[in-house]
Structure 1
Amino acid sequence: MKSQPLSSPFNVMVHKEMADHIRSWRFIVLMGLIILTFVASMYVSLGNIRSAMSNVNDPDHTFLYLKLLTATDNSMPPFHVFLSFLAPLLGISLGFDAINAEQNSGTLTRLIAQPVYRDNLLLAKFVSALILVSAPFLVLALLMIGGGLVLTGVRIEPQELLRILGFMMISMIYVGFWLSLSITLSVRFRQAATSALTAIGIWLFFTVFYQIIINLIIRSFLPDPTFLTQDQVLRYNELILDLLRIAPNQLYTDASTTLLMPSVRSLGPMTMEQMAGAIPAPLPFRESLMIVWPQVSGLIGATVACFALAYYLFMRREIRS
C-alpha cells in the first residue's frame, strides 16, 4: 500500500492552536461581541440608508454598500469606528498567553523537545489566530453584501466590493499588529496577567492619552496658531498629524475612512489654492489605495517589527522544565 504523506509539524501546530481557540470561551465571547456590534450597526445603517442615499450634497450618496458601513444617526458609531476599539481587544486576547501559558503548564518543554523549530512555534501561534480572525470578518462582509442585496435589490458595484474587501484586509492587518505585540509580551513576561495588562495599557495609552500628550507638548513649544501665517498653520497641522500617526489606531482610522468614503482626497491639510477647481467627486479605488498605502505599510511594518522582536526574545530564552 502507498504510504500517506505526513503533515508538517507547522501544519499540525496550526490546526491544534485553531482547535484550542475555537473551544475557548474568550474566543466565543469576543466573536459574539463583534457579531452583535455588526448587527446593531447594520440595523442603524439600514434605518438611515434612505436619507443618506437621497442627500445629493454628499458625493458618496450613490455607494449603497459603503453607506451600510458608514451611515449612522449618531445614536451609535458606525461599524468601522466600533471595530477600531474591538480589533485590539481581539488581537490581545488571542495572544497574551501564547507562550507563557505553555511554559507555566509545562507543555512548552515537551513541545520544544520534539523536532520542532522555535520559529515554527511562534509562527503557528500567529497564523492560527489570524486565520480565525479573518474568517469571521470575511463572513460578515458577505452577510452585509447579501443582506443589502436582499433588502434593497441594488446590485453591488465592483468598486464597492474592492473597497469593502480592502477594508476587511486592513482590519485583519490591524488585528495582526496587536496580536504580534501581545505574543511579544507573552514571551517577555512569564505571567499571563502581566502580559495582558501591559498590552491593554499600551492600547489605552495610544487610544486615550497619546493625543492629549501630543497636543500639550505642541502647544507648549509652538506659538498661538491665531498669530501664524497660512503656511505656518499648515506646517503646524502637518507636524501634529505626523506625530499622531505614530499611533496604530490613527493609521487604521485614516486607512479605513479613506477606503469607505471615496470622496476623501487627502489625509493632510490643504491650502485654498490646492482646493480651487476641485470637483467634489469620488476617487477611483486605485487612487484611494495610493493615498492610504503609507498607513497600510506602516501597520505591516509595525506588525513585522513586533514579531521579529518576539522571535529574537524567544530564540535567546532558556527553557527549562
Structure 2
Amino acid sequence: MRSWRFGILIGIIALACIGSIYAAVTALKDGVKTQDTDTSFLFLQMFTASDGTLPAFSTFVSFLGPLMGIALGFDAINSERGKGTLSRLLSQPIYRDDFIRAKFTASLLLIAVVLFALGLLVMGLGLFTIGYPPTPEEVLRVVLFLLVGVIYVGFWLNLSMLLSIRFRQAATSALSGIALWIFFSVFYGMIASMIDKATMPPETSALDILLRHADRMLLLNRLSPAYLFSETTGTLLTPGIRSLGPLTTEQVVGAIASPLPLGQSLLLCWPQLVGLLAATMICFGLSYALFMRQEVRSRS
C-alpha cells in the first residue's frame, strides 16, 4: 500500500471517480434524462448518470478497475522468484498453497477496501449535493454493485497472477495482462460488431431466424468479462431494466412499466454473476495448479 505504484494507481482511479461524481451531479441538477425513468430511485443515478463530458461511475469502475487488478498481480510471483525470496519463503514452515492463497487474498482485500471506500465516497457526496437520502433497497443495490465490482477486479487479479506464474519476467506478464485488458475493453466489441454485420440475416427473414441470430450475438458478447460486468451492474443500478435479451412485440405489449424489486433484479442478472465467479475461479484454479507443479530453486 505504501508503494509508488499503488499510490499513483489509486490517485488516478480516485480522480476519475471524482470526475464522474461531478458529471452525475451536473446531470441530475440539469434534469438530464437517464435510463431509469422512475424517480423513486434517484440516488442510484449518482452511479449511472452523466452529463456527456465524463463517463458514469460504473463505467469508470469497468474500465479502470482491471488496471488495479493487473497492477497488484502481474509481479506477485515472478518478482519473488527474481529476487530469490521465493525459495526462502517456501523453505520455512509455509506450504505452497498457503503462499498463493495469501497472495490472492491480500490483494483481493485491498481491492475490496478501495472499491468500497470509493463507493461510500460517492454516496456521501451524493447526500451533500442532491440532498436526497437513499432508501434501504438503494443501499443494498449499491453494496451488491460494489461486491460485483470486487469479483470483476478479482478476475483480472487472478488472470495477472496466472501470467506472473507463467512468465518469469515481470515486464512480459504486465504487457500480456494489459494487452488482454485492451482487447476485451476495446477491440472485442468491435470484432463482435463486425461479425454481427457480416452474419446479419435479411430483414425480411422469419422472426425465429432473427431471434436465433440475436441470441448467438448475445452469447458471443457475453464471452467478454467486461460485457458480463456491464450487464450485471446495469441491472442492479437500473431497476427499470426488465430483460437482458431480445423481446418480441407480443412480450412487450401489455407489460407494466414499473421497476423490478431487488430480488427479481438479482434473478435477472444471476447468470452473468455466476459467469464472472466461474471465470475468477477458473483463473485461480489454473494459477494454483501451475504454481504447485513448478520447481522452485534457490539462487546461489
The two structures share one fold, judged by TM-score above 0.5: yes
Query: Is residue 151 of structure 1 aligned with residue 129 of structure 2?
Result: yes
CA contact (8 A) 2:240 2:260 kept: yes
Over residues 162-199 of structure 1, what are the superposed CA-to-partner deviations in whole Å (9 max), with x where a residue is unaligned?
11111100100000000000001100110001111111
- Partner residue, 1:246: 223
Over residues 191-213 of structure 1, what are the superposed CA-to-partner deviations in whole Å (9 max), with x where a residue is unaligned?
00111111111112222222333
Q: Distance in 2 between matches of 1:217 and 1:47?
A: 38
Give the length in aligned residue pairs. 298
Query: Is residue 91 of structure 1 aligned with residue 74 of structure 2?
Result: no
Distance 1:47 1:211, change over 3 A: closer
Query: Is residue 67 of structure 1 aligned with residue 30 of structure 2?
Result: no
SS at match of 1:62: helix
User: Structure 1: which 4+ aligned runs deviate by more than 6 Å?
Assistant: none
Q: Distance in 2 between matches of 1:137 and 1:219?
A: 37
Q: Distance in 2 between matches of 1:49 and 1:212?
A: 31
- Partner residue, 1:7: none
What is the aligned counterpart of 2:142 among 156, 164, 182? 164
Q: Distance in 2 between matches of 1:249 and 1:96?
A: 19
Query: Is residue 50 of structure 1 aligned with residue 29 of structure 2?
Result: yes
- Partner residue, 2:250: 273
- Partner residue, 1:121: 99
- Partner residue, 1:316: 293
- Partner residue, 1:202: 180
Query: Is residue 100 of structure 1 aligned with residue 78 of structure 2?
Result: yes
Distance 1:141 1:216, change over 3 A: closer
Q: Distance in 2 between matches of 1:107 and 1:52?
A: 57
Over residues 22-60 of structure 1, what are the superposed CA-to-partner deviations in whole Å (9 max), with x where a residue is unaligned?
11111111111111111111111111213448x699523
CA contact (8 A) 1:60 1:261 kept: no
- Identity among equivalent positions (%) equals 47
Q: Distance in 1 between matches of 2:25 and 2:184?
A: 32
TM-score normalised over the length of structure 2: 0.94
Q: Distance in 2 between matches of 1:57 and 1:96?
A: 37
Distance 1:57 1:139, change over 3 A: closer
Query: Is residue 37 of structure 1 aligned with residue 10 of structure 2?
Result: no
Q: Distance in 1 between matches of 2:229 and 2:36?
A: 23
SS at match of 1:225: coil
Distance 1:105 1:137, change over 3 A: same
Q: Match for 1:50: what amino acid? A: K
Q: Match for 1:291: what amino acid? A: L
Over residues 198-249 of structure 1, what are the superposed CA-to-partner deviations in whole Å (9 max), with x where a residue is unaligned?
11111122222223333444554x4533232222211111110101101100
RMSD: 1.7
Q: Match for 1:28: what amino acid? A: G
Distance 1:289 1:125, change over 3 A: same
Distance 1:314 1:219, change over 3 A: same
CA contact (8 A) 1:52 1:71 kept: no
**Unmatched 5+ residue regions in structure 1?**
1-21
Q: Match for 1:213: what amino acid? A: I
CA contact (8 A) 2:23 2:52 kept: no
